[in-house]
Structure 1
Amino acid sequence: MPAAHPSVTRRPLHRRALDVQVFLRDDGLFDVEASLVDTKSHDVPLAGQTRRAGDPIHEMRLCLTVDQSLTVTAASSDTRWMPYVGACSEHGNAYAQLVGLNLMKGFRHAVAERLGGTRGCTHLTELCQILPTAVIQALAGSVVDTREGDAAGNPPFQLDRCHALKRDSATVAKFYPRWHLTTPEPAPTAS
Structure 2
Amino acid sequence: MPAAPSSVPRRPLHRRALDVQVFARDDGLFDVEASLTDTKTHDVPLAGLPRKAGEPIHQMLLHLTVDTTLTIVAATSETLWMPYPGACNEHGDAYARLVGLSLMKGFRQAVQERLAGTRGCTHLTELCQILPTAVIQAMAGSVIDTREGDAAGNPPFQLDRCHALRRDGETVAKFYPRWHLTPAATAS
What is the TM-score when the length of structure 1 is the normalising length? 0.96
CA distance in 1, matches of 2:5, 2:164: 29
The answer for unaligned runs of 5 or more in structure 1 is none
1:108 alignment partner in structure 2? 108
1:158 alignment partner in structure 2? 158
Percentage of matched positions with identical amino acids: 80
What is the TM-score when the length of structure 2 is the normalising length? 0.97
CA distance in 2, matches of 1:46, 1:5: 34
Deviations 1:59-93 (A, max 9, x none): 00000000011100000000000001100010001
Q: Do residues 184 (structure 1) and 169 (structure 2) align?
A: no
CA RMSD of aligned residues (A): 1.0
Deviation at 1:4, TM superposition (A): 3.7
CA distance in 2, matches of 1:136, 1:5: 33
One-letter code aligned to 1:147: R
The answer (yes or no) to whether the contact 2:169–2:183 under 8 Å persists in 1 is no
CA distance in 2, matches of 1:154, 1:185: 24
The answer for unaligned runs of 5 or more in structure 2 is none
Deviation at 1:5, TM superposition (A): 5.2
1:27 alignment partner in structure 2? 27
2:129 alignment partner in structure 1? 129
CA distance in 2, matches of 1:62, 1:145: 26
Deviations 1:104-161 (A, max 9, x none): 0111110010001110000000101111111111110010111111111111111111
CA distance in 1, matches of 2:5, 2:174: 38
Deviation at 1:187, TM superposition (A): 4.1
Moved over 3 A (4+): none
